[in-house]
């Protein structure tokens, strides 16, 4: 048995707006898109987006007892994170900084004690995507 690949699936409120954001700000291209799901690709990395757009929870009084009923509630958008391995972390940082997706103004590429150099970004709905490069 051998594990081969992992694909992050991130919740977003609006698939069309999220796809436009990933294409214009993060350099991904949509390989597949429908109302509730999209597949984005950049080089050999796939990211799946799924619609967390159910607003009916806002009108349910029993949320205290069972806050998740369908699994696509809009409050789930922006609660996910993933790490994506890259090469050329410094060049990618410059690209992402220019498009304004860097986590905050103080964000820089950091050396981590576990042998990675990384920096965080946020997508349109607040999902955390950290790009990292393995230090040799």
Is there a domain that residue 1 lies in? Answer: no
The residue with greater pLDDT, 73 or 95, is 95
Q: Give me the pLDDT at residue 52, please.
A: 84
CATH number of the domain that residue 90 is part of = 3.10.180.10
Is there a domain that residue 108 lies in? Answer: yes
Q: Which structural domain range is residue 25 located in?
A: 9-134
Backbone angles phi, psi at 37, to 5 degrees: -160, 145
Is there a domain that residue 4 lies in? Answer: no
Give the up-direction half-sphere exposure of residue 18: CA atoms within 13 A in the CB hemisphere: 29
The residue with greater pLDDT, 47 or 75, is 47
The residue with greater pLDDT, 71 or 16, is 16
Is there a domain that residue 93 lies in? Answer: yes
| Cα separations in angstroms, 26 against 60, 88, 93 | 37, 15, 11
Rounded-to-integer distance, Cα 3 and Cα 18, Å: 29
- Ranking 18-22, 46-50, 74-78, 91-95 by mean pLDDT, the lowest is 74-78
Rounded-to-integer distance, Cα 98 and Cα 80, Å: 24
Is there a domain that residue 2 lies in? Answer: no
Is there a domain that residue 3 lies in? Answer: no
Total domain count, the chain: 1
Q: Give me the pLDDT at residue 65, please.
A: 59
Is there a domain that residue 59 lies in? Answer: yes
């Amino acid at each position: 048995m051998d594990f081969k690949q992992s694909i992050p699936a991130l919740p977003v409120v609006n698939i069309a707006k999220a796809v436009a954001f990933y294409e214009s700000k993060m350099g991904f291209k949509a390989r597949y898109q429908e109302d509730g799901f999209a597949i984005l690709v950049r080089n050999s990395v796939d990211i799946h987006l799924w619609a967390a757009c159910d607003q009916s929870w806002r009108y349910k009084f029993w949320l205290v007892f069972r806050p998740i009923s369908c699994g696509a509630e809009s409050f789930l958008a922006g609660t996910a994170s993933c790490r994506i391995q890259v090469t050329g972390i410094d060049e990618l940082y410059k690209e992402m900084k220019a498009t304004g997706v860097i986590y905050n103004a103080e964000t820089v590429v950091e050396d981590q004690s576990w042998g990675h150099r990384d920096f965080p970004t946020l997508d349109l709905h607040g999902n955390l995507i950290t790009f990292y490069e393995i230090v040799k």
